[in-house]
């Protein structure tokens, strides 16, 4: 690793525009495939920066790709900009204060995620130009990470086919190279159909779809004891069949989110949940139809890229937070309990090690981390392209994900510092890969080894199109 400050200068030079982009996207929170304005902002910035632009990637109107540079290897930075429903919140206040009741909010920091990834891409582009080096750098604006698994569709469409390595990050309260692997998951709607009838006069003629949903949920709750302990099965009622208790409900839909440590475990688990659904249909003399909405693979690590990223992260150190940042972070910490704080540190094996309200040291390489129990569609990219990611520190330690506390911190000074910090680490990895073909070769060999015995199969049903109207 040499001369990283050279690329960090390009990050600093471009930071103001990309911080502004992050703040603008924060202010127009859009969810799952509806990110028209956010994607337009990202596209406009790419255009302003002189990138060659491909819109409508994989037939998704809110996906965009920008490329710069000529020849050489192809380095991809993955960005996101989708928000979450019902998380509207004023910025920079340590109390819940919705801007608009029921509206969306950036509760997972994807406004920063996309901007920092683009900032890294721009810095690498500037360095390529200045140094006259051959190489191409791309920014992928990927929508619908929350519940839409757009990257899984983009992988299926071949959007990453000629990419040599992919680099990404996610905002967090701690700074670390992501080494743990995330879970594979699938979202499936089970729709039961029975026969409507008057619930008092002729209940014997009715066949209740709502009964079937309830029996399916009971069945799955019994199934839980007999699945691998790392599996997760969640459900939500999408359609309970109506609000009238005096009719037998003819239609009802329950949405299942099924997670497993890897694809190999996910696919049989889905089949077992389907068996329970069929059993519920049989018991109630209804029919059931399973419709997959989205699915993602587990995240594969990549040892050579993680080692490279760690070197750059250690050379840079943690973000440079100041007392104002820490004061506000302390106020935020006052809105949740000590359990959140200790749990968050425990995830990284940092119990009792980081006493301040913001990340002031890096997680050591040998820290006893726990695995991640969430899922991400970066997983699918990691099966086809060597991929490396980091957690960047932007939030008060312990901030729970998908909460108003995340939204309110999304455009304060600590968030801006954290996003520039992450861009520096990512850009340095990209630059190193362009300069060192042997790093790309080692990363590819590592991926080959991980997928040799279980090649990638898309978890998406072959005929499933991106659920653009979700």
Q: CA dist 277 to 4, 225, 256, Å?
A: 55, 17, 11
Residue 79 or 459 with smaller CB distance to Zn ion: 79
Size of the site for Zn ion (CB under 5 A): 1
Residue 197 or 344 with smaller CB distance to Zn ion: 344
Handedness of CA 34, 37, 42, 43 (dihedral sign): positive
What DSSP designation does 369 have?
A: P
x/- letters, 445..464, toward Zn ion (CB under 5 A): --------------------
What number of other Cβ atoms are within 10 A of residue 93's Cβ? 13
Residue 114 or 135 with smaller CB distance to Zn ion: 114
Residue 215 or 423 with smaller CB distance to Zn ion: 423
Given the rule CB under 5 A, which of 105-113, 304-312, 421-429, 454-462 is the region that contacts Zn ion? 105-113
d(CA 410, CA 404): 10
DSSP 3-state of 287: strand
302: left (phi over 0), alpha (psi -120 to 50) or beta: beta
What tokens were used for 57? 């990637």
What tokens were used for 176? 């670390």
Helix H or strand E encompassing 295: strand 287-296
Given the rule CB under 5 A, which of 102-110, 122-130, 335-343, 378-386 is the region that contacts Zn ion? 102-110
Give me the least distance between CB of 96 and Zn ion, in Å please.
20
d(CA 169, CA 184): 18
Residue 113 or 270 with smaller CB distance to Zn ion: 113
Please list every residue from 305 through 344 that binds Zn ion, using CB under 5 A.
none
Give me the least distance between CB of 463 and Zn ion, in Å please.
28
- Contact, 248 vs 199, CB < 8 A? yes
Residue 389 or 458 with smaller CB distance to Zn ion: 389
Residue 295 β-bridge partners: 186
Give me the least distance between CB of 203 and Zn ion, in Å please.
46
- Pick the binder of Zn ion from 21, 64, 108, 384 (CB under 5 A): 108
Residue 373 or 449 with smaller CB distance to Zn ion: 373
Contact between 84 and Zn ion by CB under 5 A: the answer reads: no
- For 176-230, give the DSSP string: EE--S-PPEEEEEEEEEE-B-EETTT-GGG-B-HHHHHHHHHHHHHHHGGGS-TT
- Contact, 300 vs 387, CB < 8 A? yes
Give me the least distance between CB of 259 and Zn ion, in Å please.
15
Residue 108 or 297 with smaller CB distance to Zn ion: 108
Given the rule CB under 5 A, which of 17-25, 104-112, 252-260, 292-300 is the region that contacts Zn ion? 104-112
Contact between 250 and Zn ion by CB under 5 A: the answer reads: no
Give me the least distance between CB of 145 and Zn ion, in Å please.
6
Beta strands at 176-177 and 135-142: parallel, antiparallel or unpaired: unpaired
Residue 108 or 442 with smaller CB distance to Zn ion: 108
What tokens were used for 201? 């006069």
The residue sitting closest to Zn ion, measured at its beta carbon, is 108
Contact between 227 and Zn ion by CB under 5 A: the answer reads: no
What tokens were used for 219? 């069945």
Residue 108 or 175 with smaller CB distance to Zn ion: 108
Helix H or strand E encompassing 333: helix 323-333
Given the rule CB under 5 A, which of 5-13, 101-109, 175-183, 355-363 is the region that contacts Zn ion? 101-109
Given the rule CB under 5 A, which of 107-115, 184-192, 306-314, 445-453 is the region that contacts Zn ion? 107-115
Residue 336 or 401 with smaller CB distance to Zn ion: 401
Residue 49 or 375 with smaller CB distance to Zn ion: 375
d(CA 398, CA 409): 13
Give me the least distance between CB of 108 and Zn ion, in Å please.
3
Nearest alpha-carbon partner for 135 in 70, 76, 65: 70
Give me the least distance between CB of 97 and Zn ion, in Å please.
23
Beta strands at 135-142 and 184-193: parallel, antiparallel or unpaired: unpaired
Give me the least distance between CB of 423 and Zn ion, in Å please.
17
d(CA 348, CA 359): 12
d(CA 31, CA 225): 34
d(CA 171, CA 347): 15
For Zn ion, the binding residues (CB under 5 A) are 108
């Amino acid at each position: 690793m040499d001369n990283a400050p050279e690329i960090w200068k390009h990050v600093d030079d471009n930071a103001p525009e990309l911080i502004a982009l992050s703040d603008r996207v924060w202010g127009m929170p859009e969810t799952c495939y509806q990110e028209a304005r956010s994607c337009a902002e990202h596209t406009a910035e790419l255009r302003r920066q002189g990138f060659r632009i491909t819109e409508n990637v994989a037939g998704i109107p809110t996906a965009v790709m920008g490329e710069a540079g000529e020849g050489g290897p192809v380095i991809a930075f993955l960005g996101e900009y989708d928000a979450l429903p019902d998380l509207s919140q004023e910025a920079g206040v340590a109390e819940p204060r919705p801007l608009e009741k029921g509206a969306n909010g950036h509760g997972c920091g994807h406004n920063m995620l996309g901007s920092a990834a683009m900032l890294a891409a721009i810095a690498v582009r500037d360095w390529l130009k200045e140094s006259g080096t051959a190489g191409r750098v791309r920014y992928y604006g990927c929508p619908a990470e929350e519940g839409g698994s757009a990257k899984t569709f983009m992988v299926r469409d071949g959007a990453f086919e000629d990419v040599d390595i992919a680099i990404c990050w996610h905002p967090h309260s701690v700074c670390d190279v992501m080494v743990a692997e995330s879970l594979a998951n699938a979202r499936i709607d089970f729709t039961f159909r029975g026969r409507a009838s008057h619930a008092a006069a002729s209940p014997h003629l009715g066949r209740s779809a709502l009964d079937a949903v309830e029996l399916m949920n009971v069945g799955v709750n019994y199934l839980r004891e007999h699945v691998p302990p790392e599996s997760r099965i969640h459900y939500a009622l999408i359609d309970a069949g109506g609000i009238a208790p005096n009719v037998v409900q003819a239609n009802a839909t329950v949405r299942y989110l099924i997670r497993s440590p890897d694809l190999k475990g996910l696919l049989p688990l889905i089949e077992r949940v389907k068996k329970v659904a069929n059993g519920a249909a049989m018991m109630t003399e209804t029919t059931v139809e399973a419709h997959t909405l989205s699915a993602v693979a587990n995240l594969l690590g990549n040892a050579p890229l993680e080692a490279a990223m760690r070197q750059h992260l250690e050379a840079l150190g943690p973000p440079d937070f100041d007392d104002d940042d820490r004061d506000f972070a302390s106020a935020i910490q006052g809105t949740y309990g000590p359990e959140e704080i200790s749990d968050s540190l425990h995830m990284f094996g940092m119990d009792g090690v980081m006493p301040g309200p913001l990340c002031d040291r890096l997680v050591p390489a040998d820290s006893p981390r726990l695995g991640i129990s969430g899922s991400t569609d970066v997983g699918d990219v990691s099966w086809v392209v060597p991929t490396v990611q980091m957690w960047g520190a932007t939030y008060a330690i312990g901030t729970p994900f998908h909460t108003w506390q995340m939204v309110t911190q999304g455009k304060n000074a600590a968030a801006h510092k954290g996003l520039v910090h992450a861009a520096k680490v990512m850009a340095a990895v990209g630059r190193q890969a362009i300069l060192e073909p042997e790093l790309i070769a080692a990363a590819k060999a590592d991926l080959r080894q991980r997928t040799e015995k279980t090649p990638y199969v898309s978890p998406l049903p072959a005929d499933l199109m991106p659920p653009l109207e979700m």
